[in-house]
């Protein structure tokens, strides 16, 4: 994919971060540790689930892939949740285990294969069923979807590689900002190339969603 901010690397700003913050951010670039929370079968379901949710569709050996599963696994192993959960959903760790098992159960019932064995299109169909359902395997579907997306987006957007993709400057303390105002940039910021109006893209997404709904209804 063509970079939106060519040559931009947020790590060049690490010298302006305080030592504690720099240590936290740079630790996210270390090789991922072995999984401690998810079982082998749960990992098999969770890894493609997260890839579909975040459109990380490159090959596993792609160095630009952000290790979101490992981030979630570490949080759950350490009990570092958001400090709350919906009262109609189990606590986060149990909700993850139950929802991954249910997703694989759906895959075997509908497609005759495990979730991780399916093509992306079939995986997306199953996920769309969850997203649009009211109740799913005796769980509130919207809560499950929220759980997945909340953890996935937190893991993805806490990584410096994601910051580079969107031109984010990273921690602002103690450096701060001085170029305040619309379309103004700090000396270290890079102008976005080929910036596009988001509305046409949003219309394409909505059209794709409607086609998906039609395909699902016709099955």
What is the secondary structure of 11-35 as a DSSP string?
GGGGGGB-HHHHHHHHHTTSPPPPP
Q: Please state the pTM of the whole predicted model.
A: 0.85
Per-residue pLDDT reduced to its tens digit, 79-103? 999 999 999 999 999 999 999 999 9
> Tokens at residue 146, please?
């929220």
State the pLDDT at residue 54.
Answer: 96
Contact 159, 28 (CB under 8 A): yes
State the pLDDT at residue 164.
Answer: 94
State the pLDDT at residue 145.
Answer: 97
| Distance, CA of 208 to chain centre | 20
State the pLDDT at residue 183.
Answer: 81
């Amino acid at each position: 994919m063509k970079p939106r901010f060519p040559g931009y690397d947020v790590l060049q700003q690490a010298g302006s971060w305080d030592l504690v913050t720099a240590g936290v951010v740079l630790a996210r670039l270390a090789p991922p540790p072995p999984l401690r929370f998810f079982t082998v079968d749960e990992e098999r379901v969770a890894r493609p689930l997260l890839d579909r949710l975040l459109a990380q569709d490159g090959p596993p050996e792609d160095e630009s892939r952000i290790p979101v599963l490992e981030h979630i696994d570490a949080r759950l192993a350490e009990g570092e949740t958001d400090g709350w959960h919906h009262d109609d959903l189990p606590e986060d760790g149990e909700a993850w285990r139950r929802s991954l098992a249910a997703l694989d159960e759906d895959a075997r019932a509908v497609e005759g294969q495990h979730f991780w064995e399916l093509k992306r299109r079939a995986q997306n169909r199953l996920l769309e069923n969850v997203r649009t359902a009211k109740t799913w395997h005796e769980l509130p579907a919207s809560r499950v979807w929220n759980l997945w997306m909340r953890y996935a987006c937190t893991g993805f957007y806490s990584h410096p590689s994601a910051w580079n993709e969107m031109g984010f400057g990273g921690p602002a303390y103690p450096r701060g900002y001085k170029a305040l105002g619309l379309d103004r940039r700090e000396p270290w910021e890079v102008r976005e190339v080929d910036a596009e109006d988001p509305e046409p893209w949003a219309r394409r997404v909505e059209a794709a969603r409607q086609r998906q709904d039609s395909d699902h209804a016709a099955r």
